[in-house]
Structures are given as C-alpha cells and as structure tokens.
C-alpha cells in the first residue's frame, strides 16, 4: 500500500487507514474477537494507520487496539484523541475539555490503555471554547517534548482555530468528516484550503458516510435500537429516502467500473489529493479486504466529473449530526 505524509511531521502512513471506533461503540453489536483479527489482517495488508479515541466505548476501544497491536507496535501508526467527555449514565451527553491539566492526564490514561510508550498522532477531538486553543496546543506540545506524543492533530476545527494552533506548534493533521455526501471541507474558505496552506494532512473520517455510501443500508430499521445513526438527521424519514436515491446513482457508476460503491467512495477521496487520508471503519475482515482494493482503482476525469454531477455538495439531505453534537463543531 502506498504511503502519504502526515503533514510536515516526518511521519508517513498507509494511504488508507482503519477506523476502529465502530468496533467498540455506536454501530451495533461488538465482536472483539473479529475486531482484533480485523486489525491483524489490516496490518498484514499494509493498512497500518489505526484510528481510535479515548471516548470510544469509554476507553474500551483503546484497550482493544492496545491488545491487537501487542507484538506489532513497530508496524503501526496509532492515532488517538482526547477532549470529549462522556457520562456512562447519560450516553447522549457530551462535555468538552481542553484545559492543559486535563490534556496531560488524558494522555497518560490513553498511553496506559493502549499499552504504548508514545502516541504517534494525538488529536484534540473537539475544540473547547472555554479554553484558548493556544493553551490546549501548548499542553500538547509539552507532551511532544516529554516524548509521550510524536505529532499533534486537531479534529473538526475551523480554519481560524487551525491558524492559531499552528502558531504554537506544527499541526500534522486535521481530522474532519469528508465523503461524497459530506463535502463542506471543500468550500473556498473551508478547512481543506486552510490545511493545504499550512501543509497539514487532511484525515477524512466517516468516508463511507457511516456505512450509507456502501449501499448496504436500505432502511433505518436496519439499525439496532442503540445505533447512534438512528439519531442522525440524514438517516431519518424523508432524508433517508432522498439519500438512498443518491447512493443508487453512485451504485450505477460503481457497477460500470466493476467495483463496489464502498470502493468507489474511497477511490473518490483518494483522488481528491495526495494530502488526504481516508480512515474507513469496520469490524469485519470481509469489509476491510473490500475497502483496501480502493487503493488500486484509478478514476478517470470522466468518472470524477460524473460523480461531481450526481453528488455535488447540495445533493445530500439532512444534517450530518443531531443538534447537540452539531453544537460541538468549531466554526
């Protein structure tokens, strides 16, 4: 698998990473055994950029990733995140904490759960509007000095916040939702342009539209009762029906290209620039194998303009987050 730079950090990662979130949280039933062998299969196939966060499964996801990489630490690039604070007794509730003392304790806790001495890429998961970004990034840069973290990232930040953060410490990567149905980052004054100006890598999360762009989700009833996608406006009522038409059109092009819609969605992201790294999530070897083939699919200018025609920014129906989670996005 080809590799892409994590900004100017000197680190390189596989051009397709593995999102580990759904292995422990949000997307239905867990299967830790299959998840661990999926991580092993990814590493064996050169997909070695693993994405987790301290809030996924209240820490369980970091523990799972830690178990999976035992004996394989030198083969992987571990990215984790801090800053979203959850309450087990009220799973929908979210707090945000970017205070310097919290950054340090969160990092120590992640190192312990992952069972590693150093985190390769440490992201602030959401910006804390009560704490100046300079203070948070200042604390993160101390973690780099102490050898606990190799490179710093931010998730769902505005261009202005990124600019301020870069004045404190080089930012290696920004992680933001980006896919054929989430194209806000492309706006002329959007985060993709801001990343390019600063040579910051752009890590595209939920590149398969949380599974929707694979064409496998036919009804909101396909989800289990506690699946968080039930709360997303895009997966509800009229929006769901309209978005299904979009996926059907993507499916038509995939059939012509003799690939699956998932592969086409990932190949489209890879074609948007060498600085973009998608991290599709799965807990199954079968989907992993399918998704990694995307790296071999070359899209022609004609393919790209047809995808542009059927999936412009305004094609999607509904917000990507419910209001309480939308409020955490830094603008």
Ligand X SMILES: NC(=O)c1ccc[n+]([C@@H]2O[C@H](COP(=O)([O-])OP(=O)(O)OC[C@H]3O[C@@H](n4cnc5c(N)ncnc54)[C@H](OP(=O)(O)O)[C@@H]3O)[C@@H](O)[C@H]2O)c1
Residues that bind ligand X (CB under 6 A): 19-22, 27, 51, 155-156, 175, 205-211, 214, 216, 262, 279-284, 287, 290-291
Phi, psi dihedral angles at 90 (to 5 degrees): -145, 75
Instruction: Show Cβ contacts of residue 271 under 8 Å, excluding neighbours closer than 6 positions.
Output: 299, 304
Based on CB atoms, which residue is closest to ligand X, 146 or 278? 278
Assign residue 57 a region (left: φ > 0; alpha: ψ between -120 and 50; beta: otherwise).
left
Based on CB atoms, which residue is closest to ligand X, 97 or 206? 206
> Which residue's structure tokens are 């990124």?
162
Based on CB atoms, which residue is closest to ligand X, 291 or 317? 291
Cα–Cα dist 232/134, whole Å:
32
The residues assigned a catalytic role are 56
What is the nearest approach in angstroms of ligand X to the Cβ of residue 73?
Answer: 19
What is the nearest approach in angstroms of ligand X to the Cβ of residue 205?
Answer: 3
Secondary structure (3-state) at 300? coil
Q: Where are the alpha helices (DSSP H) in 51-189?
A: 60-68, 100-114, 133-145, 159-166
Based on CB atoms, which residue is closest to ligand X, 98 or 207? 207
What is the nearest approach in angstroms of ligand X to the Cβ of residue 301?
Answer: 25
Cα–Cα dist 325/331, whole Å:
13
Based on CB atoms, which residue is closest to ligand X, 48 or 155? 155
What is the nearest approach in angstroms of ligand X to the Cβ of residue 305?
Answer: 24
What is the nearest approach in angstroms of ligand X to the Cβ of residue 263?
Answer: 8
Q: Check if the beta carbon of residue 11 is closer than 8 Å to that of residue 120.
A: yes
Cα–Cα dist 191/202, whole Å:
9
According to DSSP, residue 56 is labeled G
User: How many alpha carbons lie under 13 Å from residue 75 in its C-beta half-sphere?
Assistant: 15
Instruction: Quote the tokens at residue 155.
Output: 């998730």
**Rg of the chain over all Cα atoms, to the nearest angstrom:** 19
According to DSSP, residue 281 is labeled B
Based on CB atoms, which residue is closest to ligand X, 175 or 317? 175
What is the nearest approach in angstroms of ligand X to the Cβ of residue 37?
Answer: 13
What is the nearest approach in angstroms of ligand X to the Cβ of residue 41?
Answer: 13
Based on CB atoms, which residue is closest to ligand X, 129 or 146? 129
CA distances from 19 to 76, 193, 204 (A): 13, 24, 10
Cα–Cα dist 88/231, whole Å:
18
Secondary structure (3-state) at 280? coil
Residue 80, strand partner residues: 122
């Amino acid at each position: 698998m080809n590799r892409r730079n994590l900004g100017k950090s000197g680190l390189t990662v596989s051009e397709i990473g593995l999102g580990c979130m759904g292995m422990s949280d949000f997307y239905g039933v867990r299967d830790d055994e299959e998840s661990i062998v999926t991580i092993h299969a990814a590493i064996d196939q050169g997909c070695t950029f693993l994405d987790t966060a301290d809030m996924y499964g209240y820490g369980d996801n970091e523990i799972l990733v830690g178990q999976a990489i035992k004996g394989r630490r030198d083969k992987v690039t571990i990215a984790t995140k801090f800053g979203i604070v959850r309450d087990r007794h009220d799973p929908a509730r979210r707090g945000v904490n970017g205070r310097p003392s919290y950054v340090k304790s969160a990092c120590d806790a992640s190192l312990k759960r992952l069972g590693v001495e150093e985190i390769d890429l440490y992201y602030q998961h959401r910006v804390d509007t009560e704490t100046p970004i300079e203070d948070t990034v200042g604390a993160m840069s101390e973690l780099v000095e102490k050898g606990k973290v190799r490179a710093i990232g931010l998730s769902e930040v505005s261009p202005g916040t990124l600019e301020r953060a870069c004045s404190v410490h080089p930012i290696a990567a920004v992680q933001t939702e980006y896919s054929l149905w989430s194209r806000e980052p492309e706006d002329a004054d959007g985060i993709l342009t801001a990343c390019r100006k600063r040579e910051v890598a752009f890590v595209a999360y939920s590149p398969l539209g949380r599974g929707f762009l694979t064409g496998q989700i036919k009804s909101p009833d396909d989800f289990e009762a506690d699946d968080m996608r039930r709360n997303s406006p895009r997966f509800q009522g009229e929006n769901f029906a309209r978005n299904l038409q979009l996926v059907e059109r993507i499916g038509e092009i995939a059939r012509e290209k003799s690939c699956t819609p998932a592969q086409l969605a990932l190949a489209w992201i890879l074609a948007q620039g060498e600085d973009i790294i998608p991290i599709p999530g799965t807990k199954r070897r079968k989907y992993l194998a399918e998704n990694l083939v995307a790296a071999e699919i070359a899209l022609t200018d004609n393919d790209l303009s047809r995808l542009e025609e059927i999936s412009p920014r305004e094609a999607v129906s509904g917000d990507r987050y419910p209001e309480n989670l939308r409020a955490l996005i830094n603008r």
